[in-house]
Amino acid sequence: MAGAGDSPVTLTDPHAHAWSPETARARFRDGLTGPTAGVAAGHTQVNLISVPADWAYDMLLFCTRNPKPCPVLDVTDAGSFTTALADGADLRTDLPRYRVWENGVLVDEPTDVRTYWREDLVTFLIGCSFTFEWALTGAGVPLRHVEQGRNVPMYTTSRQCRPAGRLHGPLVVSMRPVPPRHLAAAIRESSLLPAVHGSPVHCGDPAGLGIGDLGRPDFGDPVDAEPDDIPVFWACGVTPQAAVMASRPPFALTHAPGQMFLTDARDEQYRVA
């Protein structure tokens, strides 16, 4: 399991910000762990989930029916651990930390899943909101979790995703506190990147999503907001993990929340205008 000794990797580290995706993946392959917000700035980050081939259609249908939290950027062939999004990368070793699921129960959080790999696994790479953070920063929107060197807070909501085959579960959201004067920019800039979750799903009172306490996220870290900040919520690529917990497939591999796969793709290629 992940330990308290993990070394966070954040935008406040100028070296991590300047790394190439290949350098970042090599560091993670060597065992470096931590949230990847701001790492290899300008390059697209993605969520990962691998399921047995006999669950792959259900997962594809789930993503198709729930495109806001699950925008698919690539799908591998069964057994393949490579992706067109990152030349030479190994999806079994090149993330900071993984999660291993058996019958919907988290059983391990290793930094390498080669010993868990199966030849029937189909991997889905799903857009991540870390990708649009460059656009928010460029528009002057502060990112509290980056400023504070923390993982972005994520919450399981009371909203249910549209079910697909054997898969069902709640929507998960990420939250960023935004000053009122920057709210329009945050909505505008993220909406131009629909392949990485796009515009927010909710702004303001967290009770509207069934969230009782922003200080207790289900994933990630709590962040300190300024007194006038508005909580802004985006659909999150951890949603498939919530579906795994709810639907209990026999086996799955995922990324650890906030610890993403760094691709060679450039963020701006997913901007629609």
Q: CB of 27 within 8 A of CB of 20?
A: no
Q: How many residues are present in the chain?
A: 273
In a domain, 57, yes or no: yes
pLDDT tens digits, one per residue of 68-102: 999 999 999 999 999 999 999 999 999 999 999 99
Beta bridge partner(s), residue 235: 173
pLDDT tens digits, one per residue of 91-141: 999 999 999 999 999 999 999 999 999 999 999 999 999 889 989 999 999
- Detail the DSSP E strand segments found in the chain: 43-52, 72-75, 98-102, 105-108, 121-127, 154-160, 170-178, 202-203, 230-235, 252-255, 261-266
The Cα 234–Cα 216 span in angstroms is 17
Q: How many CB atoms lie within 10 A of CB 207?
A: 9
In a domain, 3, yes or no: no
pTM: 0.92
In a domain, 19, yes or no: no
What integer pLDDT is reported at residue 14 of this predicted model?
Answer: 62
In a domain, 105, yes or no: yes
Residues 121, 153 within the same domain: no
The tokens for 85 are: 């999004």
What integer pLDDT is reported at residue 74 of this predicted model?
Answer: 98
In a domain, 16, yes or no: no
The total number of structural domains in the chain stands at 2
Q: CB of 2 within 8 A of CB of 109?
A: yes
Give the chain's residues under pLDDT 50: 1-12
What integer pLDDT is reported at residue 13 of this predicted model?
Answer: 58
